[in-house]
């Protein structure tokens, strides 16, 4: 029997970070920017949806008009989404898939929860998110401790997530990206924003020890040296938007190889030469 794959994220820690973020409140500008991105993509769809599934905790008011009826649900500790199959014609996730260990499996569950020709939309953080912080922690810990501990979760790129949509069986998959660069007056404000968004370290292999003073000083010093402009610290956040449809016979299908009725050279007005 093959050994089980080690978990990347700690479910309880990720859930606790989200709960603490809810208590902290404050301006969660990343959530709002991604929510605007999701609503813009929904507004471009002319179809009216009947049953919507919001994957997360609280359904935003701006999302409510896009479906007649809504159900709010989330993946449990075993990463199971306890909803019926073929029950919804719209499913949306706002960063709620971020700490899922088996993302391909979660996407398959979501595709099965959709009726044929149902729409799935999601926002996730992409690979460039907090690239500065990841780099600086590696430099500082190597310098002070002689090694590196997991601090920032590895994040997928836009091509990887587009491929995962196809792997999960979604039709007409699209993955696109938006980047946001925030400038902070100091490192403390960056950490405060991460906590307010529930982005504390939830990696299963993370160090349980607090960052010691020497390492923290090295982190701040290197950050100022390498990633600051005009006295402000730069932090990159990248949001990937996933769009996919549950397969249906009415959707556009790719043509079979060799089925073209005209040559490309004729369309372009050029002469075709054999190599």
Q: What is the CATH number of the domain that holds 116?
A: 3.40.50.150
CA distance 263 to 269: 10
Q: For residue 2, what pLDDT band results from cuts at 50, 70 and 90?
A: very low
268 within a domain of the structure (yes/no): no
By CB neighbour count within 10 A (0-12 exposed, 13-18 middle, 19+ buried), where does 136 fall?
buried
Residue 41 makes CB contacts below 8 A (sequence gap 6+) with: 121, 241, 243
Mean predicted confidence (pLDDT) in 7-15: 89
Which tokens go with 245? 């449809």
Q: Over the stretch 49-88, which tens digit does the pLDDT of each residue have?
A: 999 999 998 999 999 999 999 999 999 999 999 999 999 9
Evaluate whether residue 178 is within a structural domain. yes
pLDDT digits (tens, 9 = 90+) for 128-145: 999 999 999 999 999 999
Q: Containing domain of residue 151, as a range?
A: 11-249
In a domain, 6, yes or no: no
Backbone torsions φ then ψ of 120, nearest 5 degrees: -115, 130
Name the residue with tokens 């973020």.
Answer: 21
Residue 127 lies in a domain: yes
Assigned domain for 163 exists: yes
Within a domain: 172: yes
pLDDT higher at 21 or 108: 108
Is the model's pLDDT at 275 over the cut of 80?
A: no
Residue with structure tokens 């990887």?
160
Number of domains in the chain: 1
Q: Does the residue 5 lie in any domain? A: no
- Domain-embedded: residue 273: no
């Amino acid at each position: 029997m093959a050994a089980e794959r080690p978990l990347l994220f700690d479910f309880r820690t990720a859930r606790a970070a989200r709960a603490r973020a809810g208590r902290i409140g404050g301006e969660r500008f990343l959530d709002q920017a991604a929510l605007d991105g999701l609503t813009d993509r929904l507004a471009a769809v002319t179809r009216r949806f009947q049953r919507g599934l919001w994957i997360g905790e609280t359904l935003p008011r701006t999302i409510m008009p896009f479906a007649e009826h809504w159900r709010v649900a989330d993946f449990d500790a075993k990463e199971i989404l306890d909803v019926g199959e073929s029950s919804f014609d719209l499913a949306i996730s706002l960063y709620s898939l971020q700490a899922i260990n088996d993302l391909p499996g979660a996407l398959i569950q979501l595709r099965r929860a959709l009726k044929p020709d149902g729409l799935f939309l999601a926002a996730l953080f992409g690979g460039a998110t907090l690239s500065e912080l990841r780099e600086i922690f590696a430099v500082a810990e190597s310098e002070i401790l002689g090694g590196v501990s997991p601090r920032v979760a590895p994040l997928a790129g836009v091509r990887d997530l587009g491929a995962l949509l196809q792997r999960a069986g979604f039709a007409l998959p699209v993955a696109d990206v938006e980047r946001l660069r925030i400038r902070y007056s100091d490192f403390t404000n960056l950490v405060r924003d991460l906590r307010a968004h529930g982005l504390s370290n939830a990696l299963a292999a993370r160090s349980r020890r607090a960052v010691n003073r020497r390492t923290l000083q090295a982190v701040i010093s290197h950050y100022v040296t390498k990633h600051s402009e005009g006295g402000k610290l730069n932090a990159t956040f990248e949001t990937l938007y996933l769009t996919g449809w549950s397969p249906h016979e009415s959707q556009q299908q790719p043509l079979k190889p060799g089925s073209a009725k005209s040559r490309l050279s004729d369309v372009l007005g050029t002469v075709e030469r054999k190599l």
